[in-house]
Amino acid sequence: MEKGILWLLLEAATIMTVAALWFIWRGVVLYKKAPKKGHDGDTENTSSTSPAAAAAAADDNEPPPFKALAQELEGQAHQTADILKSNRDSDDLDQITRLKLWGTLVKAERAILLNEESKRPKPILNRFMASIITSLEKVKSRNLSQHSLSKTLQDIDEEFVQASELLISKEELMYNQRELHQELHESIDHAKQKLNKLKVKENELERLKLELEKQRQQIHKLEHHDSHSAGPFASHTPQEQDTEPHYSTRHLYQLERLSKRQQAIIEHLQAQLKDSESELGQQQEQDAQQIALSRMERLSQESTSLITQLQTELDNANVDIDTLKQDISEQELQLKAMDAQIKAAEGGLLGEFQTLTSNKRDTLEALLDDFASIKPDDKEQVEPFSHQEKEVLNLEQILKESETCVQLLAQELESAEAENNSLRAQIEQELKGKGRAQAQEMGELNALREENQDLVTEVRDLKDQIVNQVSESNEKTLRNEYNKKSLELDRLQLAYSDLERKYLGTLR
């Protein structure tokens, strides 16, 4: 930064030196031409007076006001020439410049009147513009001083400092925007991971549906009494799985065991104290107390370590629960629809199955009644009926077992639905509490966004006003104000990006 400022100052100094040399050379050239122009002016005055006299002698019919005005202008030109001759050695450049400008204007007006070119005065005025321009350039070159140059350099330095601050703020804003984009990409990746988890759960649901379909097929096979034994039912009965206790319950059991051990040690200590009063001495009593205290300290340390471990595990479990809440809330609508479909399907299947079993039971009872009513005397005729009666009894047993299986499945489904409803109620309560906090944060963020939009509109209005009010005199001040406002805008954008990053962190 310091090197850049140094190079900028060197370049500005070189430019100013070149400009000063050019102005000095131009002043010397004009100073050399000044006496010649004064002599030429005198000759022009004499020459112009002679044609004026000739014109006055020749044109006796010219109106008197024009003649009087021409004579008055000629007298003023002579007066200005005399004043310039008397003030040739003076240093008052402003007065000399005014006199020269007045003399040239008087000459131009007199020439226009004498040549009768009042309708087209441009060619005559162009001839006298050279002297006016030279006088103005001379004054401008003389008025340049060290103070003005130092002031311009100071203005350039201020503009450079403002430009550097603006550039730094833009770089910070770009860096902050880049980090915000990275965090947005990370949040998108996290959302994709959640979607993948949902897909895995959908696959698990499809698998459960397939298993349910298999169970229905098995029930259908049982309806058609493919097998006459209870073996298939024994193979397909649901078995209880040993559920391992949760890690938090294990730690609780350990704490209970520690408390029991502490209670036993306290009781043992009390017994020892009672025995020591009668049998042992004071030294043995102190030793026993020290041993008991050491054991108590060790047990207390173990209990505190287990409590801290349990606290950390509970915190991790809470974090996992918070991450799962969103997934559960997203799946809630799907689960409701699926539960309704499953309830409708299960209700229909159970009703159909119960009606079928009742019909089959009625038919079997009717067959048994028929077999009981038919009692032939011949043994050969009785044997086929006895075989059929056994088959009917087997079928009745199979139907009873199928009914028990269906009842067990219905009970399991009801218990699962009750547990699901309880979990859903708990999750809804937790989500309501969390939703209020998120609503407050969203309200604050919306208020900040509205404030930022208002500031942007105000800045835009200020820009429009500045563009409408720009002029050559206040251009630098307006540029400085614009740079300040742009810096404030960059800072507000940085603050807004920081708030967006914090909001993304809260969402995570």
| Tens digits of pLDDT across the chain (508 residues) | 567 777 777 777 788 778 878 888 888 888 877 654 444 444 444 444 444 444 444 444 444 556 677 777 788 878 878 887 787 777 666 777 777 778 777 887 777 777 765 666 667 776 777 667 766 666 666 655 666 767 777 877 788 788 888 888 888 888 888 888 888 888 888 888 888 888 888 887 788 778 778 777 777 776 665 444 444 444 444 443 344 444 445 655 666 676 677 667 767 766 766 665 555 455 555 666 666 666 666 766 666 666 667 667 666 766 666 676 676 677 677 767 766 766 665 555 566 666 766 776 677 667 666 666 655 544 555 566 566 667 767 777 777 777 777 777 778 878 888 888 888 888 888 777 776 777 777 777 777 778 877 877 887 787 777 666 655 446 677 777 887 888 888 888 888 888 887 877 777 6
Backbone dihedral angles phi then psi of residue 60, each to the nearest 5 degrees:
-80, -15
Please, what sign has the CA dihedral across residues 465, 471, 476, 477?
A: negative
- Long-range contacts of range 461-466, CB-CB < 8 Å, 24 or more positions apart? none
Q: Where are the alpha helices (DSSP H) in 224-281?
A: 231-236, 247-278
* Structure letter (DSSP) for residue 469: T
pTM (predicted TM-score): 0.26
pLDDT for 498: 82
pLDDT for 44: 45
pLDDT for 56: 42
How many other C-beta atoms can be found within 10 angstroms of the C-beta atom of residue 445? 16
Of 402, 346, 358, the closest CA to residue 222 belongs to 402
Using alpha carbons, list the distances in angstroms from residue 282 to 270, 276, 291. Answer: 15, 8, 14
68's tokens: 């009087």
Helix, strand, coil percentages, rounded to 5, for the chain: 90, 0, 10
166's tokens: 């603006």
Cα separation, 441 vs 427, whole angstroms: 21
Q: Which residues contact 12 (CB under 8 A, 6 or more apart)?
A: 153, 156
22's tokens: 């050019």
Angle at 459 between CA 453 and CA 460, to 5 degrees: 90
Q: In degrees to the nearest 10, what's the CA dihedral of 302, 306, 307, 309?
A: 140
Cα separation, 148 vs 132, whole angstroms: 24
